[in-house]
Amino acid sequence: MNKTLIPAESIGQRILLIRGAKVMLDSDLAELYGVTTKALNQAVRRNIDRFPADFMFRLTKQEKQEVVTNCDHLAKLKFSSTLPYAFTEHGALMLGNVLKSERAIEVSLLVVRTFVQLREMLSSHKELAVKLEALERKIGSHDQAIAGLIDAIRQLMAPPAQNKRPIGFIATDAAPEKGKK
């Protein structure tokens, strides 16, 4: 199989985050493997012991509705009466073994490589996010120190307050005049 027939970006766009797991739906996998969704699900049912809960699960009605609403390419599921299956990376690889065709084996390897590439990208983004947060904290403390310096300089530049008494003697009218008693 020529890898240009199925670009990795196409597979990456079909990976969804459901129940905290990165998964692909049965209809997307069936299309990639070159079989009908019905044939894919039949193969899964015949080999159900190969698909534990951490390899595959069925979507709820609410999850199906959310997926149909958010993913344009899954609009065809809107009118399906059955709930789709979601396959994790391991489940997608197991499908390649269950379907037993050249295309299934090659596609399952490509799917797994895409999952790995996605995991590596996410880990590098996490490292970058941690470094960015540390930089923001460092800059934040510098901003406070700079603001303190600016306030101190402004206080030094301000003219002195005129709260002092004038120097000298001021005569008041209440004092008795000299020579008059």
> Mind listing the pLDDT tens digit for each residue in 166-175?
677 777 776 5
Residues 136-149, mean pLDDT to the nearest whole number: 70
Q: Per the structure block, which two tokens stand in for 126? A: 């996490």
Residues 140-146, mean pLDDT to the nearest whole number: 69
What's the rounded Cα separation, in Å, for the pair 13 and 1? 21
Q: Give the pLDDT confidence of 17-54 residue by residue, as tens digits.
A: 889 888 889 988 888 888 899 999 999 999 999 999 99
What's the rounded Cα separation, in Å, for the pair 137 and 144? 11
Residue 155: inside a domain: no
Contact 99, 26 (CB under 8 A): no
Helix (H) or strand (E) holding 57: strand 56-58
Residues 135-144, mean pLDDT to the nearest whole number: 68
Residue 160: inside a domain: no
List the one residue out of 92, 122, 124 whose CA is nearest residue 105: 92
User: In angstroms, what is the C-alpha Rg of the chain?
Assistant: 37
* pLDDT given for residue 38 in this prediction: 92
* pLDDT given for residue 174 in this prediction: 62
Residue 154: inside a domain: no
Buried-state track 77-108, b at ≥16 Cβ within 10 A, e below 16 = beeeeeebbbbbbebbbbbbebbeeebbbbbb
Structural domain tally of the chain? 1
Mean pLDDT of the chain: 78
Q: Give the pLDDT confidence of 92-123 residue by residue, as tens digits.
A: 888 888 887 778 777 877 888 887 887 777 67
Residue 17: inside a domain: yes
Contact 85, 58 (CB under 8 A): yes
Residue 37: inside a domain: yes
- Which alpha helices (H) appear in 47-88, and where do they start and end? 61-70
* pLDDT given for residue 4 in this prediction: 40
Residue 144: inside a domain: no
Q: Could you tell me the residue range of the domain that residue 59 belongs to? A: 3-121
* pLDDT given for residue 2 in this prediction: 43
Residue 31: inside a domain: yes
* pLDDT given for residue 47 in this prediction: 92
* pLDDT given for residue 51 in this prediction: 92
Residue 128: inside a domain: no
Q: Per the structure block, which two tokens stand in for 9? A: 């970006």
